[in-house]
Structures are given as structure tokens and as C-alpha cells.
Structure 1
């Protein structure tokens, strides 16, 4: 440690004590620059002050700085074969970034801004000892109560090594309120054989020289910082070595809010009910945060655990399905939560935008309660009783299970977590006409107990048996639907899809997608691919379609506004009147406010934009020999690699494009210039009569569907609760990936036949590859 003064040494003692109390102090150093001290962790995890979910009646949302205005875009003329004369790109070349996440100063110093949010435990804690039988998940990826207010922050990492200096500085940036006693652990102590769940070579804290060296840090201040000038993760007894480019440093911050009866308020009279609670809102005050990997001279990198003892190492680029937004491998046995996490490279203020948008996504528009800790989190009073008279669900998360897919109900059960789009017999893709009873979709539930029952359910299945060349038989089933109300002339049942990667999709330049289109089948492979074109409901401009099963939504704003309106009858600036659900020509001319304000619509869009895509699980992790390997990490890399090659050989990549790069125009720096692996070209393809329904949208005929991105596919069985709860294809008819492939027809016929002609071993390898995504 460089030139630690007495005040910082005192802060270290406080920090080490706090870390010991929380189970994070193994391998701690309580001294200054005297060299590393690698202690042995206790035999069992110490009893600690768990960051309990303590509720609050104080609803204290913190204002977010306004985003820079978007410059207007200019109309563009595409290839005349693409079905339109002109369209408008989403973003102009001069679009400013909402906030910087990394830059270099004139002397070469690299500055990285790392956003953080509260978590409950450490990254490698699994809910039981590493050698014990599974007793339940850890609590690293959870969201404690009141996570959306006063609890996000960041660290500005000033890396002077690229400038030729032996120095890295860390500056604590608090978004709102006051932190008191924040701690910071660095350099995972991988050389200590006793280190497993946690254990760092350097435990320190952020002190404030303007407050007498106390670890008190406030929003708007840059006074709390630490610095170090050597590399700490060295064998026991050896001196530190010099920092060098490419060094990996694990960062594990832990925050404490200003609280009653402790820290700044020690000795003050306080009731037992308030002791230890945050002064700002009466909720919890003590948290952990994400454990990040910093690479000297480069920045943050998603990581995975290697030998020995799951030591942190950067994930290879080929595994980063979402580029640098990708979520690191999870070792707390919480695979069910991997679709809910922030982008790995998220900025400091954007972490605040993210949690506020997440709150809205989990809020009931009936009673204002949060889906998690409903009796602990404050009621979002602004959204009480905004649910429309007819609806399907009362909150966004109800259709997207843990940000995954719809629940597929049993026979006879209401399909109210899926969408049933409807249209009149005269409706066409170009000129939609709403159904006279339902409008544009069936809203199956009513707030009026005496209202007409308009529910839709699966009544039975039409089944066929597909026989593969080697004799294996696969039963395929197609749902037969029952309507309590009139059967619409045209309809399409759609399951909600997982929502990761949506910001990255919006960040792809139009030309990148359009260059993949082949409407005239120039190469003669039978695969065409055409874009859908969508009129922006807010301004009438024509955009490239990107979202939905038929690419019938152009922007995240439109996707969000459409879901709010159709699933909950909640209005927004996109669709300001419930009449828009029936294409009322005056529905955009309403006077007065909407249920969701412009700023709240932005927060929802920010949240969906900044969700991380889990990294591909194609690598073996370095679990110690005596440790139970988590199921999600028990995989065969050779089989996965073989499956990847077979996927390409079967020409599945003609539609499921493995890799592309996002553009440089999106407002979020996190999403720019990312090499992503969505396994989609986001174009429409004719999938044959077997997958056809009766509803067209824009250029998408009844049998045409957008190529669904495959990232996150292998996490679905955890997110949905089990393999049996996962459904594939637009209407959820396929129970397995094998069934989904065998339903492919039309332009995908050749690929389906190639898959069927493979040996059973090769088919299993291809499924293993898809399950790794």
C-alpha cells in the first residue's frame, strides 16, 4: 500500500473488523504497507450480521440526471429488394453517450467507471459448504428490499500503469445519500489453500480526509479513495511484486449506509426498532456487492473460476455472448437468477437507472406492491389502481418468469401469461383490422367479477410422430385452443420470451442486419431472410423491425408500451389511451397524463437495455477435487465444441448468425462496439405450413417468423424451474430442443433434415451445444 497515513490505517482496522463480522475477512491485512498477511480462514463460516430484508414505509426514489437529447436521424434508402424505399435509423452518428464508462487521459492513464448495486452475500457462497450436499442457493444474485433507492454507487478506477507508473487509485462515487464504513477487498488470496468461498489478500476501506479520516462518503464528493502500488496475490512469505499490464485483480466492495445507533451515530439514543437501519429511509443498511475482475491496462472483464479453488480468470472472448455486458459464471448456485443481472460493464449512474427500471418491472399496477418482499418494500403509490378493467397480468414480471419465458399452463388452464393476438377476417399485415370483440388481443381477466369470461386455454393437442432415419421416434404436439368468448377469425398465440440482450439488439446498426438479408436467394441455399418494417407509433417514421416473434416492434419503447397496453391496459407516452388497443384513430390525441410517465418509460427501457447476457457455459470450472460440482457447471467441453461444428455443418447458421458487432451510435456506451453472439440475424423466414398460424404482421406473413436469438437458451431450465417447464417456439408447443428443431420447415427444411440424418451421438452433441448458450 502506498504511503498509508495513520487515518487510513485506522480505517483499515475498522474495515477489517467489519469484514470479519461479515465472513469476508479471511486472509485479511490490517496493517499498512508492511506487506501481505495471508491468514487462514476459520474452519466454518462465522455467524454474521446478515443483511436482512428490512422493510420501510419511506418511498424515496432518487432523481436520475436527464439523458442527453437524441439528435434526429436522416432517412436512408436501402436495397430496393428489401421492400421499402426509405427508412429511418434509430440513432444518428452524433448520438452522445448517456455516461462514460471508460476513457484514457493524455498521459495514458486508463479510467474505468464501475457501477455497483447491493447484494446479500459473496460470489462463491453456495448456501452450504463446498463439500456439502445441496441445501439451497446462495444469495449473491438476489435483490434485497429497498435496492432501488439510495443503494447504488460506483468506483472510479484510475489505472496509471499504462502511463508508466506503479499506481492504481480507486475513488468511491456514491450516487445518493451517505455511506458510513464502506469496505473494499482486492486480490483474491488464491495462494492460501484454506481460501474457498472468499478470502482476499488486501482488505481496506475508503476513508475521508476531510472528515478526520472517518470512512464516511457522501454523494457529490470525490474525497473517499484508496491507492496501491504493488501486486498482492503472491505466495505466502514472498514480497509484493510490481504491477504489470495484464495483471488480474479481483475487486469486492461492500457498502454500509449511514445508520441509526452506529458509526456516525454511535452513542445516540435510538429505539430498538430503528437500530442499525438506514437513516435515509429506515430500510437495511449493510450490503455486499458484485465481485468484479479488473485487468490492468484493459478494464473490467467477465470471469470464471479456474484451478486452484475457482480462482478468477477472464472468460475467453468466444464465450461472451453479450460481449463485455456478459454475466460472469455463477458459483453461488443461483442459475435461476442469471437473467436478472446488470451488464458487467455498467456505468455508475446507469446502475441507478437499472434498479429503478427493475422496480417498475416488478410493480403491481393494481396495488403498487413489489413482487419480491411485498411487505418489506414500500408500496409504489403512484401506480396503485392503474390496472385496466381488462388485463392478463398485473405486473411485467408475471409473464416473464424471472425474466425468462411464460408459464405454459396445463390443459384447461387460462393462458394469461401468454399473448393471444387477434384480428378481423379482413385484416392484413399491411392494413390490420382489430377483432370486434377483443381488439388487437384477448385480455383474459377482468377486475369486474361479473364480467364476461374471455379466457383462452389449451383444450387438447394434435399429435404426430416424426420418425428419424435411425428409427428414433419423436412425438410432436400442436396445441388446440378453446375460447370462452367468440373464436376470432385470425389469431396467434405467443409465449413471452426471455428479455436478456434487448439493448444489444437495439444497438446493432440497421445495415448490419440488412446486409444479411437475401430476399431473392442469391446464393441458392433456399434461405432468404427479409426485414420487417414498422411504423413508429409515436412519430410515424418507418424503422427496421427488431422485437417480437414477427419482428413487429422497432424499438424497446414500442415493445414496452405495447406490452403495458395489451397485457395490463396501462397507458404510456407510446400508447397514451386504452383505445390504442383497438386502433382508435384518435388514441394518440389524448389530453392529460399517462399511467407511466416519460421518465418511467425511459427507466423501463434502461433496465431492459442493460440486462446482462449470461456467458456461454462451455468451459470446465476449477472446482477443488473434494467439492461437489454445481449442476450447471457439470458439462463436456469436447461435446459442446463438436455440437457447435455440427450446428454450422447443418447450415443452421444461415438464419442463426453466430456473431455480429453492435454499432457506435447507441446512447449507452456499455452497448457500443460489442462483439456479440446472439445466434440470430433478426430477419423473417418462412418456416413452412407446420408453424403457420392465421395472423400476419407487416411484411411477416402467417408462416414467417423472426429468427429467435439463442443466447440464454441453456439457462431456461433453471429460470423456469425445471426442464419440464421450458417451452420452445412462438406458441410453446415444443417441449424439448429436439422437438423445436423437428418443427422447422420451409426455409429451414434442409437444416432439419441434416439434423435428423445425424447419428444419435451427434444429435446429442448439437443439443449440448445449444444448452451451453
Structure 2
């Protein structure tokens, strides 16, 4: 395994995968308190000119769709195994009042899981597989001391350079306590290459008054008995194991006690990759420019990872900080908007990054699927560069110059700001992070017809400087002063649009929505959603709820619509393929030709290979499916008395409880259904059997003429909109910036109050109940919505 001894300044052949321009070095910094020493990667000197020009040459052993810059000829990364084939679905017959007589469910009963994340062995041993990815600092480090003014965010939720390759791993937790033994074993599972010096901290030392940012009672490492006890752990091996049989978070000087069911254990792993000039390669000749860099790809080698909370006999749980000193405690089920996928409370003052995190219960291999999909979501289809660290992350060569001749943005993340919503530009600025759907005058929802100029949507930018200008802008806002019964006034604004090109006969302007929770929505059984439909208003409450039905563009099967402002997409795959084509002009197996924008007959039968392969399309789908939903911020956190409380945690729990009750009393839950349960057939085990709180029934409702545009989709008329999920609503002002959060399909509403007042049609009675509340009661409802 060791590289050959080389003269000073000469690089082993394993560095042949380095790309010029990758500039990552490692700076070590010691952690204080009871924590173990660790470090974070920082940007350093560029690679030496000695790097072989053959660096970017493709490898014959590369898995299909694998980026060319991953791995080397010795530590060849393990390709992600293909997802198991899913059984065919059979049509389900339904009452014609629902709009169709039969449809195909997304997943059949008995569908296998992509990766098993938890199971019990015959003797009762509970096995949990915990996926990890690299981070830069600890969960409670805020970027400054707890007691001083805010100087900037921490770096716990960030994604360091080359996070997407060779740096995911996991821990298999073998909990023998349910089997009657006071023993827990933890097996390090490396996804790619070799780890050297990985550390593991457990049991937050809550009895030490000096512990704040970090500090654990048990600091250990994964040592390999087959390699003389050295902390060297390799992909494909299960040799690195630690075990413990007692509870460590006890007052100083007191004895440990035996583990028991219900004990909570904080887990804080930190990984070190095999690296030049240190660890297993200490003393070997190496160029200074490579010292400390990862052997597998020449990038950073030392990282932190997520801090998780494990409950003995139960598994991983999202956590929040309680007294004293933000000690870890399980979040109550009522706060878990995304069930077990929910993101724990964030104490590193990074609320702007909470939409970008992995599901809390993610599996080990699925963590690799997640980061690979995230890379593509951030990749420019023009330059191949990553939106983060663009000069340090290697170019994704497979996707250079795939951008269409006309487009709106060159990467997915450009419309979904930090996985949130579109940037809403000022008057006169191009709306190129929003979608402008178009149709011909004779177009209907059942029989859509493309606009003669734009097709199905306006692609506002062109790679040809001489091409016609197809910009769409907000020309002006028509304002209305709306007065509530008690005299409170709300200023409403409605945009008027201007087209540089011909004005389409029908169009709909829509902001990109936040993308968290999409996998959980896909995991809902159709029967769960259809049970909420009431197309004939049987109960007489004025609220109907109509499903939209979508013909899958690849198979032609009819599916229940779930995604988009009018529920006009049936699957994540369909949603992604539609966005790739319309927003970037990038073809995929869903829409194989750009002619699909014009309904050309060769749309599905295009003979040329699409830009995005099926592998890459699956990666994007996996990424969206496995995003965490932030937990509801409805509990007061246990900040010490001398600590500045982070703004996102400065909440009034009583006000939120009152607001939630008033929200239900106003009958808002007739559309914004508070609680649902996902089914048992989605390929991701992480998403199965989850009690979720999306505050949506995912059905179409007529919202009145004030919110109507001029374009229909399927069963959705111009005034009908899918009930938007409300989870993540309170995080939007942080994700988008204090003045950047906008609400409703076209972003016209600047505040939640405006968004509510715009509700009409089937929502008229609920809006009237809200308006009849006292000003304090309305404030309680807004506080509740802001906690979601």
C-alpha cells in the first residue's frame, strides 16, 4: 500500500489525477477544552508545475458517469453501487370524480431499499448506519466567542473544497444493549481510499463548566489490529472498531455506570485521509507543496464531521441545546417537520445554510450519493466550475459547454438561492432566476400549445451576442391599500411585466421554490394525498382540493402531480428534467431534445445522446430526495446567561403555541394539512414511515382572480395553485437575506401578512377568520409560521 520511495521533489504516480488550478493545503489548529486536536482545510499554494499533464486523462476503470478527476491507480474509489431495480407498478382504479379513472403509483409494494440504514439482529442487537460528510468546524462554534457581538458565521454547515469526492464515510453502530449486554461497538466504514488517524469523540462533557464550543468525555480513535494497532482504515474493510460499555458523562471523580436503554450519546467523528509526508508516510521524501495533502486526490486531508445524537436502543435523533451550556437533548417529535430526516437546531449561526444539509438519518453510501448530486447541482453547464471554491474545486469536465444556446442560468443553484427561492430583482432588471412559462392563445391545460416564439417558456439569455433579446422584467407594481376590520393596513403589490420580445398570449411568472422535503413528498403514498381531496365539496366548507394528473414524459404513465406551483410534475426525475431543459437548455433522458420546448415530434425519440446521462440524472434526484428539512424552531434553547442569543433562536414558545392553535381555528389546515405519514415503498429507507409536518395537502385549490395568471396546466386552471408546503418558511429570511424573502408563486408578497391577505377563492373564509383576530392574535399566527 505504501508508495515507492522517490527522490525529493518527485511525486508518486498516484498524484496523476491532480488537476492544475487545485490549490488546497492544510493548516492545523488545536481544539481546547476536552476535545481532541483537529484541523480544517484552508486555501494554500497552487500545485507545482511538475504535475503530469496526463492528470485529466480518463481511466478505463472509472464507473459510468464517474467524474474523471476522482481517484488514482492505487486507491481506486469504489463506485456507488447501482440502485436495485424496482418492480413494475400496476394501475390503480379510482372514482372518476378525482379526474381520472386509473393511475400508476410511483412505487410498487415490495420495492427494495437502496441502502439499509437500520435493522435488528435476531438477538435484539440494533444496527444503525450513520453517514458522514466533511465539515470545517464544530457544531457550537459561532465564528466568535459566545459572549461577544456577532462577527460572522461559524463553518460547521459549510462544504469544503472537493467535499464531493473521497471524503464521505460512516459509522455502523452496533448497539447490544437491547440484547441485554452493556456494550456498544462502532465500526468505521470508509467509502473511498484510506483514512489515517481518524479520531472519534463521544459523550459531551456537560459536567465541565469550561466546556462550550466543544469538549467530550471520551476521546479515542479507530485503530486497526491487522496493521499493528495503527489508525489506518481502508475502504472495503471492517477492521477498525471501537467499543465501550459504560456511560461517560459523569461528574469528575465519580465512577462510570453501565449503559442502559434511553441513554443519550453525542457522537463527533473527525476524519483524516492518507496524506503525503505524515502518518503512514512520515519520513518519506515529498515536495513541500504536497506535504499534508491527501494522497488520493491532492486536496485537503483533515476535516471535522457532523455531531450526532444517539439514543441507546433507538438510534440517531435530531437534537437541540438545553441547559446547561446547550447540552444535547432529543428534539420532541412535534418539532420534527421532516420526521427523522429533520435537521437539528443550528448553533454555529449559519441559518443561511440550513436548506443545504443531508437528512439526519442518512446512510453511509447514500451520503456519497448526496455529495455527488450536490456537486452537479452547483456545477456550471458552461464552464464546468463549481459555484463554491471555483478556482480550487476541479472542473467537472464532463459538463463543460453543455449549456443550451438559450438559457436563464448556467447552474441549478443560481435559481434556487442556497437551496431557497429565486432572487427577486428590482424594476427593470431581468427575471432570469425565475421561470416565465408561455403558451399559444388556443392552448389549454388538457391540450397545451407552445408559443410561436418561446415555446413552453422564455429562455431570456443567449450565448450568441447577436441573438434577439428575450428579457422579461417587472415594468411596475400596482399597489393597493388593504384595510383589516380593526383598521390595520396592508400594502399589496402586483407586478406588471414587460417583454423585450413579443408578448405571449398566455404566460405565468413563477419564482423557484425552496427544495427541501421533496423526497418526503415523493415518498407519500397516493392514497394518503387523495384521501384529502374533496372535488365536490362534500363537507360544504367551501374548500375542495383537486388532484392534478400528469403523463410521465418517458413512460406515458399517468401519475399524481406533486411538484411545482401547479403540481404539474409527478416525480423528482420529471421535475429535474423539466428544469434542466427549460432553464438551461440541457437535455436529459427525460427530455432528449431541445425540440421538446416546441413539442417537436422527435422530442422523446431523439437519436443523439442527451447531455445528462441517466447516472447523473439519478444523482441529482438522489440529492434532492435526501435533503434535510430544518426542525421547527419552537423551543427555547439553553444558552448560558452570559451568552448572546442567536437571532434565529430568540423566540417565544408560548406565542408560537398560541399561533399554531389560531392557525388551526382559522381552518387554514383545510389546505395546509399539518401532519402526514410517508409510505413504505420509496427506494430510500430514510424516507419511509416518516411522520412529517409539511403543512400542505399537495392538492390544487382555486385561489381567486387576484392570484390568477393566464396559463393552465393539466387540471390546474389559471387561478388554481397547489397548496405550498410551509416547512422552511421561517428560514427563508435567513437563506434569502433579510430583504430577499418573497412569498406566493410570483414573489409579489414581501411579508407573510401580505401573502395571507392575497388568499381568496377557497381560502376566503380562512382569511376572513384571520382578519377578524386581534392584532396580537395575528402576530401570534405570524410567529407560528415563522417558526416552521
TM-score bucket of the superposed structures, by smaller chain:
over 0.9
User: Aligned partners of 2:769, 2:494: CA distance in 1, in Å?
Assistant: 23
Residues 550 and 704, structure 1, Cα contact 8 Å, conserved in 2: yes
1:143-173 per-residue CA deviation (whole Å, 9 max, x = no partner) reads 0000000000000000000000010000000
Residues 161 and 167, structure 1, Cα contact 8 Å, conserved in 2: yes
User: Aligned partners of 2:498, 2:212: CA distance in 1, in Å?
Assistant: 55
User: Aligned partners of 2:192, 2:42: CA distance in 1, in Å?
Assistant: 21
1:565-617 per-residue CA deviation (whole Å, 9 max, x = no partner) reads 00000000000110111111221111132111001000000000000000000
Once the 2 structures are TM-superposed, how far is the Cα of residue 25 of structure 1 from its aligned partner? 5.6
Within a 5 Å distance, the mapping from 1:207-356 to structure 2 comes to 207-356=223-372
**Which residue of 1 is the match for residue 782 of structure 2?**
767
User: Does structure 1 residue 732 correspond to structure 2 residue 747?
Assistant: yes
User: Aligned partners of 1:754, 1:676: CA distance in 2, in Å?
Assistant: 26
Residues 25 and 200, structure 1, Cα contact 8 Å, conserved in 2: no
User: Aligned partners of 1:112, 1:563: CA distance in 2, in Å?
Assistant: 36
Divergent runs of 4+, >6 A: 55-58
1:13-72 per-residue CA deviation (whole Å, 9 max, x = no partner) reads xxxxxxx9644462269xxxxxxxxxxxxxxxx9x7432146887721752110000110
Residues 53 and 144, structure 1, Cα contact 8 Å, conserved in 2: no
User: Aligned partners of 1:28, 1:422: CA distance in 2, in Å?
Assistant: 58
1:631-683 per-residue CA deviation (whole Å, 9 max, x = no partner) reads 00000000000000000000000000000000000000000000000000000
**Which residue of 1 is the match for residue 534 of structure 2?**
518
**Which residue of 1 is the match for residue 146 of structure 2?**
130
User: Aligned partners of 1:520, 1:224: CA distance in 2, in Å?
Assistant: 62
Q: Structure 2 unaligned runs (5+)?
A: 1-26, 48-54, 57-68, 72-76
User: Aligned partners of 1:104, 1:97: CA distance in 2, in Å?
Assistant: 16
SS at 1:50's partner residue?
strand
User: Aligned partners of 1:131, 1:239: CA distance in 2, in Å?
Assistant: 33
Once the 2 structures are TM-superposed, how far is the Cα of residue 721 of structure 1 from its aligned partner? 1.4
1:463-512 per-residue CA deviation (whole Å, 9 max, x = no partner) reads 11110001111110000000000000000000000000000000000000
User: Does structure 1 residue 420 correspond to structure 2 residue 427?
Assistant: no
User: Does structure 1 residue 202 correspond to structure 2 residue 212?
Assistant: no
- For residue 416 of structure 2, the aligned residue among 400, 422, 433 is 400
SS at 2:632's partner residue?
coil
Once the 2 structures are TM-superposed, how far is the Cα of residue 80 of structure 1 from its aligned partner? 2.2
Residues 141 and 213, structure 2, Cα contact 8 Å, conserved in 1: yes
- For residue 540 of structure 1, the aligned residue among 529, 553, 556 is 556
Residues 28 and 40, structure 2, Cα contact 8 Å, conserved in 1: no
1:438-483 per-residue CA deviation (whole Å, 9 max, x = no partner) reads 0000000000111110000000011111100011111100000000
Residues 196 and 231, structure 2, Cα contact 8 Å, conserved in 1: yes
SS at 1:487's partner residue?
coil
User: Aligned partners of 1:223, 1:518: CA distance in 2, in Å?
Assistant: 57
**Which residue of 1 is the match for residue 120 of structure 2?**
104
User: Does structure 1 residue 27 correspond to structure 2 residue 43?
Assistant: no
Structure 1 residues 596 and 234, CA gap change in structure 2 (3 angstroms): same
- For residue 744 of structure 1, the aligned residue among 759, 765, 776 is 759
User: Aligned partners of 1:254, 1:763: CA distance in 2, in Å?
Assistant: 46
Residues 53 and 373, structure 1, Cα contact 8 Å, conserved in 2: no
Moved more, 587-596 or 127-136: 587-596
Residues 424 and 436, structure 1, Cα contact 8 Å, conserved in 2: yes
Residues paired across the two proteins, number: 736
**Which residue of 2 is the match for residue 4 of structure 1?**
none
- For residue 117 of structure 1, the aligned residue among 125, 128, 133 is 133
TM-score (norm 1): 0.94
- After superposition, the CA RMSD in angstroms is 1.2
SS at 2:93's partner residue?
coil
User: Aligned partners of 1:733, 1:78: CA distance in 2, in Å?
Assistant: 37
User: Aligned partners of 2:291, 2:483: CA distance in 1, in Å?
Assistant: 68
Residues 507 and 665, structure 1, Cα contact 8 Å, conserved in 2: yes
**Which residue of 1 is the match for residue 679 of structure 2?**
663
Residues 439 and 455, structure 2, Cα contact 8 Å, conserved in 1: yes
**Which residue of 2 is the match for residue 60 of structure 1?**
70
**Which residue of 1 is the match for residue 40 of structure 2?**
50
User: Does structure 1 residue 753 correspond to structure 2 residue 743?
Assistant: no
- For residue 500 of structure 1, the aligned residue among 516, 519, 528 is 516
User: Aligned partners of 1:52, 1:357: CA distance in 2, in Å?
Assistant: 24
SS at 1:285's partner residue?
coil
Within a 5 Å distance, the mapping from 1:634-649 to structure 2 comes to 634-649=650-665
Residues 661 and 674, structure 1, Cα contact 8 Å, conserved in 2: yes
1:665-722 per-residue CA deviation (whole Å, 9 max, x = no partner) reads 0000000000000000000000001001100000000000000000000000000011
- For residue 569 of structure 1, the aligned residue among 578, 585, 588 is 585
User: Does structure 1 residue 465 correspond to structure 2 residue 481?
Assistant: yes
User: Does structure 1 residue 439 correspond to structure 2 residue 455?
Assistant: yes
**Which residue of 2 is the match for residue 552 of structure 1?**
568
SS at 1:460's partner residue?
strand
Residues 117 and 147, structure 1, Cα contact 8 Å, conserved in 2: yes
User: Aligned partners of 1:693, 1:442: CA distance in 2, in Å?
Assistant: 16
User: Aligned partners of 1:532, 1:170: CA distance in 2, in Å?
Assistant: 47
**Which residue of 1 is the match for residue 92 of structure 2?**
76
Residues 183 and 253, structure 1, Cα contact 8 Å, conserved in 2: yes
Structure 1 residues 451 and 28, CA gap change in structure 2 (3 angstroms): closer
1:711-756 per-residue CA deviation (whole Å, 9 max, x = no partner) reads 000000000011x211100000000000000000000000111111
Residues 339 and 500, structure 1, Cα contact 8 Å, conserved in 2: yes
**Which residue of 1 is the match for residue 19 of structure 2?**
none
Residues 39 and 304, structure 2, Cα contact 8 Å, conserved in 1: no
SS at 1:52's partner residue?
strand
Once the 2 structures are TM-superposed, how far is the Cα of residue 94 of structure 1 from its aligned partner? 1.2
User: Aligned partners of 1:291, 1:439: CA distance in 2, in Å?
Assistant: 48
Moved more, 79-88 or 146-155: 79-88
Within a 5 Å distance, the mapping from 1:677-716 to structure 2 comes to 677-716=693-732
Moved more, 123-132 or 588-597: 588-597
User: Aligned partners of 1:581, 1:206: CA distance in 2, in Å?
Assistant: 54
**Which residue of 2 is the match for residue 580 of structure 1?**
596
- For residue 388 of structure 1, the aligned residue among 379, 404, 414 is 404
User: Aligned partners of 1:440, 1:294: CA distance in 2, in Å?
Assistant: 49
Residues 483 and 489, structure 2, Cα contact 8 Å, conserved in 1: yes
SS at 2:425's partner residue?
coil
User: Aligned partners of 1:322, 1:305: CA distance in 2, in Å?
Assistant: 19
**Which residue of 2 is the match for residue 89 of structure 1?**
105
Within a 5 Å distance, the mapping from 1:10-25 to structure 2 comes to 22-24=29-31
Residues 365 and 387, structure 1, Cα contact 8 Å, conserved in 2: yes
User: Aligned partners of 1:28, 1:676: CA distance in 2, in Å?
Assistant: 35
Residues 125 and 174, structure 2, Cα contact 8 Å, conserved in 1: yes
**Which residue of 1 is the match for residue 24 of structure 2?**
none
TM-score (norm 2): 0.92
**Which residue of 1 is the match for residue 389 of structure 2?**
373
**Which residue of 2 is the match for residue 15 of structure 1?**
none
SS at 2:528's partner residue?
helix
User: Aligned partners of 1:146, 1:395: CA distance in 2, in Å?
Assistant: 18
SS at 1:725's partner residue?
coil
User: Aligned partners of 2:507, 2:291: CA distance in 1, in Å?
Assistant: 57
